[in-house]
Amino acid sequence: MPSLSRRRLLAGLGAGVVALAGCTAPGSTNGRTSDGTDDGTSDDPAFEGCPAVRANVDETVCAATAGDAPVVLRPSATRVESPGTLRFVLANGGDATLGLNPYDWAVHRRGDDGWAKVAPDAVVQPWFEVPPGESMTWELQVGAANATPEDVRVAGPLDLDSGVYAFSVVAARDESTRTAYVARFRVA
């Protein structure tokens, strides 16, 4: 699998602009949430449990097992074909502001020996806040670059082989609690 060059990664990330648009708290309806994203659940056995794909965090919240958690990273779908696009929405339905680096997203691939990080190679260091009732959106472009609305953070394009992946971001509710928010998906 080819690695993503730092220049290509930064160029792709620079194409997006952080969205701090209002959003309702996640609530599942027939596998979809009120903001139109997938609730992250799947009958796929690879989605059981919650993988600990990020280090140096206090807790991990997965879309597939989050239930009615106030803050969840929800995918637009749990399956994508290449080329294709997935969106991940981190909706803050809690009562505290979340602090995060929107460039500190990661994609991990599940293999025989567990989860391995696929991208990105480097992370720049800005800090943003997502107040209660608002959200931030990332678009993962799989296989080919697509035009993206200005209110969406771009991740990729990445050439991903068929398999099970996890997209994650880390956010802090306060100075002492760092949470990894994880949404799994399958590339067909």
CATH of the domain at 166: 2.60.40.2550
Is residue 171 assigned to a domain? yes
CA dist list (Å): 164 to 70, 107, 150, 173, 187: 26, 10, 28, 29, 6
Token pair belonging to 170: 């880390």
Domain containing 135 equals 6-187
Is residue 65 assigned to a domain? yes
Total of domains in the chain: 1
pTM: 0.76
* Cα–Cα dist 40/72, whole Å: 10
CA dist list (Å): 124 to 9, 40, 72, 73, 137: 10, 28, 23, 21, 17
Is residue 129 assigned to a domain? yes
Q: pLDDT tens digits for 105-160?
A: 999 999 999 999 999 988 888 999 999 999 999 999 999 888 877 778 888 789 99
SS3 of 94-139: the string is CCCCEEECCCCCEEEEEECCEEEEEECCCCCCCCEEECCCEEEEEE
Is residue 168 assigned to a domain? yes
Give residue 1's identity as a one-letter amino acid code. Answer: M
Is residue 1 assigned to a domain? no
Q: pLDDT tens digits for 25-78?
A: 233 233 545 555 566 667 777 788 899 999 999 999 999 888 889 999 999 999
